């Protein structure tokens, strides 16, 4: 259950894209070749091409409602995009985000459609949420690579954490990532607690690894290990944009369990 309305998510695709565009505003071609540490093997220009290509791919799916997804090679193989012109990328990125948001808005949240994770839903609502947060996180990749400030509204960051945990707890993820089964065991619980969330944004999550699949529920609740820190830092930590807890983030309890989790769970 998303915290954000469908319209908010559609608008967020454009808003987060515009913020990413602001990170590369005034950049030169040398800036586009800066490596992206959180996406090894990509530079900034390739990161932008990946995101913009993904947005166009999703827009085609929503617009044409195919029984099978179109090819995604154009935003997976980024070797042709090693030397990008930021002036060209800016308009191209803005156009793709507007196309996706507009097509999603016109379709509405309940249109049945192909999605890559059927357990997460087979409607346009899946795509709106997925690409709102896909864009949010890739904006972080660009900001971290270029040394730009990265600020996220609390309700957006909290919903992005919710979605990450929703996806991680899908039963089919254990088929995609069999190594995740190693995480399961008695007494294995992790709590992620934001220290700066406003009172109206619940930002406390309990990840339960004691059953036969990954599960999560809202906190507060005692856990074997608790990770506390600013909400945006928790978001980036969960998405493995930080290799380790940032300054101001503390780990209390079974730190080895947290390390075990971090070594095995990564996507997005």
Same domain, 193 and 119: no
Convert the pLDDT of each residue in 107-164 to its tens digit: 999 999 999 988 888 999 999 999 999 999 999 999 999 999 999 999 999 999 999 9
Residues 13 and 140 grouped into a single domain:
yes
- What's 211's domain CATH number? 3.30.1050.10
State the Cα–Cα distance between residues 2 and 73, nearest whole angstrom.
Answer: 30
CA dist., res. 80 & res. 238, Å (int): 30
At which residue do the structure tokens 């992620």 appear? Answer: 192
Assign residue 109 the CATH number of its domain: 1.20.120.450
Tell me the C-alpha distance between 157 and 257, whole Å.
24
Q: Which of 100, 119, 151 is the last residue of a domain?
A: 151
Tell me the CA end-to-end span of the chain in Å, nearest whole number.
19
Is residue 93, in this structure, part of any structural domain at all? yes
In a domain? residue 1: no
What is the C-alpha to C-alpha distance for residues 11 and 266, in angstroms, rounded to an integer?
Answer: 27
At 12-59, the pLDDT tens digits run 999 999 999 999 998 889 999 999 999 999 999 999 999 999 999 999
pLDDT, residue 265, reads 84
Residue 117, token pair as written in the block: 């994770």
> Does 235 fall in a domain?
yes
The answer to whether residues 198 and 147 belong to one domain is: no
Pair of tokens at residue 37 = 């540490």
Mean pLDDT of 71-94: 93
The whole domain housing 25 covers: 6-151
pLDDT (average), residues 189-202: 96
Same domain, 139 and 211: no
What is the pTM assigned to this prediction?
A: 0.95
Residue 260 lies in a domain: yes
Please check whether residues 116 and 215 belong to one and the same domain. Answer: no
Domain count, the chain: 2
Residues 107 and 214 in one domain: no
Regarding whether 32 and 147 lie in a shared domain, the answer is yes
Rounded CA-CA distance 15/13 in Å is 6
Domain closes at, from 116, 151, 186: 151
């Amino acid at each position: 259950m998303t915290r954000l309305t469908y319209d908010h998510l559609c608008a967020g695709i454009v808003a987060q894209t515009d913020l990413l565009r602001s990170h590369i505003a005034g950049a030169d071609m040398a800036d586009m070749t800066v490596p992206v540490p959180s996406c090894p093997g990509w530079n900034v220009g390739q990161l932008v091409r990946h995101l913009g290509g993904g947005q166009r791919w999703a827009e085609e799916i929503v617009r044409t409602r195919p029984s099978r997804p179109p090819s995604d090679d154009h935003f997976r193989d980024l070797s042709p995009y090693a030397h990008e012109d930021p002036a060209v990328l800016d308009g191209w990125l803005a156009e793709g985000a507007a196309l996706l948001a507009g097509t999603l808005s016109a379709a509405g949240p309940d249109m049945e459609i192909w999605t890559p994770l059927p357990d997460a839903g087979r409607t346009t609502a899946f795509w709106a949420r997925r690409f709102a947060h896909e864009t949010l996180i890739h904006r972080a990749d660009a900001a971290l690579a270029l040394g730009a400030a990265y600020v996220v509204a609390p309700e957006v960051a909290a919903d992005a954490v919710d979605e990450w945990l929703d996806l991680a707890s899908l039963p089919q993820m254990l088929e995609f990532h069999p190594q995740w089964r190693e995480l399961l065991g008695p007494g294995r619980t992790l709590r992620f607690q934001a220290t700066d969330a406003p009172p109206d944004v619940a930002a406390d999550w309990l990840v339960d690894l004691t059953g036969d699949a990954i599960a999560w529920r809202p906190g507060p609740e005692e856990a074997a290990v608790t990770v506390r820190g600013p909400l945006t830092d928790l978001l980036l930590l969960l998405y493995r944009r930080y290799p380790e807890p940032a300054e101001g983030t503390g780990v209390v309890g079974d730190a080895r369990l947290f390390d075990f989790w971090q070594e095995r769970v990564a996507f997005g």
